[in-house]
């Protein structure tokens, strides 16, 4: 197998450090998955630090090699935002994209510097805007209301905030319709027909520093063409902005690179994506005779998706006469809502007997009171018994961050593994945590 740094983490089905150990158990980051579950409980998110760091480095160094202007990679932390992950990506020189006051608070608490934090969102509240402006983050302005609120806040706070404009580029890509964002009929960003009036508004603003523009066309994208096209579309706005006396110097081309969830997924590598984006912007700038802008990208899923697996314990099973065999795990749609939301496909393996032949087709059901809570339909697995450890790979992105307490199930713990050591990064919720916000009015006591 190629050395770690030559494999693109987003193209792997398992974390880079995964292997089968002498006990025929799955090992990640030098830690036996079965032992991790014994120690930290089940179900458990297991995050491989090396995979996450390698993906950060491939993005960061890729732009250094292929883009000869300034570049900044920022982690789209909606994929998984918590203190430890913000701290890891920041230590690799990445900035952080946040979409709420809560994500911003977490990034700041993790020690991320405001000059590399970018606040997104299509309906930021005034208090979120104020929080970002007061702390010195860059705000990506999505609409007129926000633009006006930001202008008023700049006055009242006596600040000169850095802003960028989110523009809907009119570029479609092939992915689930819920995660397409670049087509014109999208709730995000300014429609192209409005952009010149925004530039005109900004040309009269003394406090708002509009440093550039942003677009994000969607997520889990396997084609390179949409990003190839995006450079020219976005750079054409730089010239138009200069007609309004605006000197744009930064371009944020969003994220969106896909990952492998199953063998049939075939995403480009991180380096191929970086090269495409870089060339597209360089070519567009040459064609327009413009200096290269600072190129910002904001990947989420491709940085962290395949770095994590979820380990579950197998419980009951059921065979429908002449029908399917179901095995049930001790988690489901509350820790991974993606199958029920997007019909996403996942792989699974039995972590305590990795080399046993997969000779039966089974369906893996979650434990929630909902028929649709099926994690994987019809997958080939070895025969399993209650108590076996089932591992589902590629759960690093949009699992913990979209997790719920449906059926009052506590959120899982997460451990960070590296070189044989595990560190808890998210504690398992307790029953007491579940009622922490409950209030029992006196009249009901």
Residues 176-195, mask of contacts with ligand LLP (x by CB under 6 A)? ---x----------------
The answer to the question of residue 336 lying near ligand LLP (CB under 6 A) is no
The answer to the question of residue 212 lying near ligand LLP (CB under 6 A) is no
Task: Give the interface size with ligand LLP as a residue count (CB under 6 A).
Answer: 23
Alpha carbons 289 and 235: distance in angstroms, whole number: 10
- Is 137 noted as a catalytic residue in this protein? no
Alpha carbons 203 and 188: distance in angstroms, whole number: 23
Q: What is the DSSP letter of 269?
A: P
Decide: residue 436, CB within 10 A, 0-12 exposed, 13-18 middle, 19+ buried: exposed
Sign of CA pseudo-dihedral 160, 162, 166, 169:
positive
Tokens of 101: 């006051």
Sole window of 18-26, 76-84, 127-135, 350-358 interacting with ligand LLP (rule: CB under 6 A): 76-84
Q: How far is the CB of 220 from ligand LLP (least distance, A)?
A: 6
Site for ligand LLP in 3-42 (CB under 6 A): none
The answer to the question of residue 219 lying near ligand LLP (CB under 6 A) is yes
Site for ligand LLP in 384-423 (CB under 6 A): 397-398, 402
Q: How far is the CB of 299 from ligand LLP (least distance, A)?
A: 4
Q: For ligand LLP, which is the closer residue by CB, 37 or 268?
A: 268
Sole window of 49-57, 249-257, 373-381, 410-418 interacting with ligand LLP (rule: CB under 6 A): 249-257
Sole window of 271-279, 292-300, 355-363, 423-431 interacting with ligand LLP (rule: CB under 6 A): 292-300
Q: How far is the CB of 140 from ligand LLP (least distance, A)?
A: 8
Q: Kindly provide the b/e burial profile for residues 103-115, where b requires at least 16 CB atoms within 10 angstroms of the residue's own CB.
A: bbebbbebebebe
Alpha carbons 401 and 422: distance in angstroms, whole number: 21
Q: For ligand LLP, which is the closer residue by CB, 199 or 400?
A: 400
Tokens of 219: 């997520």
The answer to the question of residue 302 lying near ligand LLP (CB under 6 A) is yes
Q: Kindly provide the b/e burial profile for residues 140-178, where b requires at least 16 CB atoms within 10 angstroms of the residue's own CB.
A: bbbbeebbebbbebbeeeebebbbbbbbbbbbebebeee
List, in sequence order, every residue forming a beta bridge with 48; answer none if it has no partner.
417
Q: For ligand LLP, which is the closer residue by CB, 36 or 221?
A: 221
Report helix, strand or coil for 53. Answer: helix
Alpha carbons 181 and 166: distance in angstroms, whole number: 11
Q: Which of 82, 173, 285, 369 is catalytic?
A: 369
Site for ligand LLP in 252-271 (CB under 6 A): 254-257
Q: For ligand LLP, which is the closer residue by CB, 231 or 299?
A: 299
Q: For ligand LLP, which is the closer residue by CB, 26 or 215?
A: 215
Alpha carbons 338 and 375: distance in angstroms, whole number: 9
Residues 103-132, mask of contacts with ligand LLP (x by CB under 6 A)? -----------------x------------
Measured CA to CA in angstroms, residue 373 lies from 328, 362, 399, 433, 445 at distances of 10, 15, 14, 24, 35
When binding is defined by CB under 6 A, the residue of 54, 143, 180, 220 that contacts ligand LLP is: 220
When binding is defined by CB under 6 A, the residue of 18, 28, 31, 76 that contacts ligand LLP is: 76
Structural contact between residues 221 and 259, judged by C-beta atoms closer than 8 angstroms: no
Sign of CA pseudo-dihedral 184, 189, 190, 195:
negative
What does the angle CA 142 – CA 145 – CA 150 come to, to the nearest 5 degrees? Answer: 80
Alpha carbons 304 and 299: distance in angstroms, whole number: 9
When binding is defined by CB under 6 A, the residue of 27, 142, 250, 298 that contacts ligand LLP is: 298
Sole window of 57-65, 216-224, 232-240, 429-437 interacting with ligand LLP (rule: CB under 6 A): 216-224
Q: For ligand LLP, which is the closer residue by CB, 142 or 418?
A: 142
Alpha carbons 302 and 306: distance in angstroms, whole number: 7
Q: For ligand LLP, which is the closer residue by CB, 216 or 227?
A: 216
The answer to the question of residue 301 lying near ligand LLP (CB under 6 A) is yes
Q: How far is the CB of 396 from ligand LLP (least distance, A)?
A: 10
Catalytic residue IDs: 369
Binding site for ligand LLP (CB under 6 A): 76, 78-79, 97, 120, 179, 216, 219-220, 254-257, 298-302, 338, 342, 397-398, 402
């Amino acid at each position: 197998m190629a050395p770690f740094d030559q494999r693109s983490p987003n193209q792997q089905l398992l974390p880079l450090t995964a292997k089968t150990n002498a006990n025929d158990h799955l090992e990640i980051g030098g830690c036996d998955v079965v032992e991790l579950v014994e120690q930290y409980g089940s179900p458990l998110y297991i995050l491989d630090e090396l995979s996450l760091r390698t993906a950060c480095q491939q993005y960061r160094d890729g732009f250094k090699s292929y883009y000869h202007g300034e570049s900044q990679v920022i982690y789209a932390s909606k994929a998984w935002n918590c203190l430890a992950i913000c701290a890891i990506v920041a230590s690799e020189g990445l900035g952080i994209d946040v979409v709420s006051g809560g994500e911003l608070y977490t990034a700041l608490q993790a020690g991320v510097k405001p000059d590399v934090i970018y606040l997104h969102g299509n309906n930021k509240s005034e208090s979120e805007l104020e929080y970002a402006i007061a702390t010195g983050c860059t705000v990506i302005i999505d609409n007129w209301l926000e633009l006006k609120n930001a202008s008023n806040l700049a006055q009242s706070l006596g600040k000169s905030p850095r802003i960028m404009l989110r523009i809907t580029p009119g570029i479609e890509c092939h992915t689930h319709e819920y995660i397409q964002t670049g087509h014109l009929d999208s709730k995000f960003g300014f429609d192209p027909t409005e952009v010149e009036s925004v530039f005109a508004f900004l040309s009269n603003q003394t406090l708002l520093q509009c440093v550039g523009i942003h677009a994000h066309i969607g997520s889990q994208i396997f084609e390179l063409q949409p990003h190839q096209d995006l450079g020219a579309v976005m750079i054409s706005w730089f010239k138009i902005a200069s007609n309004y006396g605006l000197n744009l110097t930064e371009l944020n081309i969003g994220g969106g690179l896909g990952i492998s969830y199953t063998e049939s997924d075939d995403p480009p590598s991180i380096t191929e994506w970086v090269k495409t984006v870089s060339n597209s912007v360089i070519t567009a700038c040459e064609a327009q005779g413009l200096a290269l802008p600072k190129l910002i990208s904001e990947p989420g899923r491709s940085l962290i998706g395949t770095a994590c697996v979820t380990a579950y314990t197998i419980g009951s099973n059921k065979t429908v006469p002449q029908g399917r065999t179901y095995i049930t795990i001790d988690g489901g749609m509350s820790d991974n809502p993606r199958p029920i939301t997007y019909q996403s496909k996942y792989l699974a393996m039995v972590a305590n007997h990795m080399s046993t032949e997969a000779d039966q087709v089974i369906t893996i059901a979650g434990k929630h009171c909902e028929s649709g809570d099926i994690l994987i339909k019809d997958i080939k697995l070895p025969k399993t018994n209650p108590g076996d450890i089932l591992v589902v790979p590629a759960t690093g992105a949009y699992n913990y961050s979209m997790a719920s307490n449906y059926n009052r199930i506590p959120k899982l713990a997460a451990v960070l593994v590296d070189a044989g050591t595990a560190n808890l990064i998210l504690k398992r919720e307790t029953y007491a945590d579940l009622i922490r916000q409950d209030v029992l009015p006196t009249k009901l006591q």
